[in-house]
Amino acid sequence: MLPAADPAGVVGAGDDPVPESPGPVVPIRPLTFRELLDLPFALIQANPAALAALGGGAVLVAEVVVVLLTASVARLTDDADAAIAWTAVLTTLSCAWLVRVLLRATVVPIALAAAFGRRTGVRAAVSHASHLAGPVLLAHALFTLVGVGVSVLGILLITLPFVVVWLGYLRGTQFPAPVVLFAEPTTHRQSVARAKLLTEGTRWRLTGLWLVQRTLFTLLAVPLFGVMLFVSDITGTHRWPVIVLFTVTGLVLAAFGEIVESCARVVCYVDLRCRREGMDIVVPRGGQARGGSA
């Protein structure tokens, strides 16, 4: 379990940063809504090489898998357009899901270390993630099932806008759960209970954060797919270049969104622990208690 606060470079704690410590990227104090939106990008800027290596490597491997599976189906079905299209879509969605699992399991420990003024490399993050692969995979599977179930229910009841808000509320309730798995090594069930405790009283705030992030991701995706359409028009609508362009775009968006969201979870974890548990309050080490015994 993390200490109440890291004494090296704690913002507002009244201690000078330790010279060897880079200092925390996230201020160890309750944060404003704007800081919850901005500080994830500060965590990304603090670890550009590691996050680029993880994201780029995951997208590259996933795209190779998508192309190989789609090409195999094309050969088996004599280049049937419908079979190729469905294979490309389904394999891209499946690989995007796996990319998100991998990035969530590796980005969270990197961002968590940076938030408290420490450094964690790619190898250390992968090693740490391997020890918690089971709980992370279970959490993401349940995360996906809830999202799909709520979305299908909204479509069937023709109440999709209201269901999106409901889904955001459910996501907000469990928002810090993946971080709890790494910061306070525990089981999936205990991390869910811990997340509910931390988010008590702030769930609508986290719902708003989740909705704003989804809006930003949508605004990013629309022009990016527009660029892909423009490029495909210039180069010609050849089947395989178009498939590669659109599948790569989808995987890049999934990877980028997960990196930002994982960093946002870390920022929210710091904020929630400060609000509920006073993590920003530092007790001096070796200090004598006032009012000694007679």
CB of 232 closer than 8 Å to CB of 193: no
Quote the CA–CA distance of 172 and 149 in Å, as a whole number. Answer: 17
**pLDDT score recorded for residue 250:** 92
**pLDDT score recorded for residue 235:** 66
Helix spans in 160-202 (H)? 160-173, 177-183, 188-199
**pLDDT score recorded for residue 39:** 94
**pLDDT score recorded for residue 293:** 40
CB of 194 closer than 8 Å to CB of 180: yes
Local structure of residue 279 (DSSP, 8 states): T
pLDDT digits (tens, 9 = 90+) for 217-257: 998 888 887 877 777 777 666 778 888 888 999 999 999 99
Give CA torsion, residues 17, 18, 19, 22, to 10 deg.
-70
65 burial via Cβ count (<10 Å: 0-12, 13-18, 19+): middle
Give CA torsion, residues 208, 211, 215, 217, to 10 deg.
120
For the entire predicted model, the pTM comes to: 0.84
Quote the CA–CA distance of 104 and 120 in Å, as a whole number. Answer: 15
**pLDDT at residue 211 above 80?**
yes
**pLDDT score recorded for residue 91:** 96
270 burial via Cβ count (<10 Å: 0-12, 13-18, 19+): buried
Quote the CA–CA distance of 64 and 60 in Å, as a whole number. Answer: 6
Provide mean pLDDT across the span 27-41. 93
Q: Read off the pLDDT band of 286 (50, 70, 90).
A: low
Quote the CA–CA distance of 174 and 265 in Å, as a whole number. Answer: 10
CB of 249 closer than 8 Å to CB of 224: yes
**pLDDT at residue 208 above 90?**
yes
Local structure of residue 288 (DSSP, 8 states): P
**pLDDT score recorded for residue 229:** 76
Tokens of 198: 């931390």
**pLDDT at residue 50 above 70?**
yes
- Interior CA angle at 59 toward 57 and 26, to 5°? 75
**Mean pLDDT of the residues in the chain:** 84
**pLDDT at residue 17 above 60?**
no
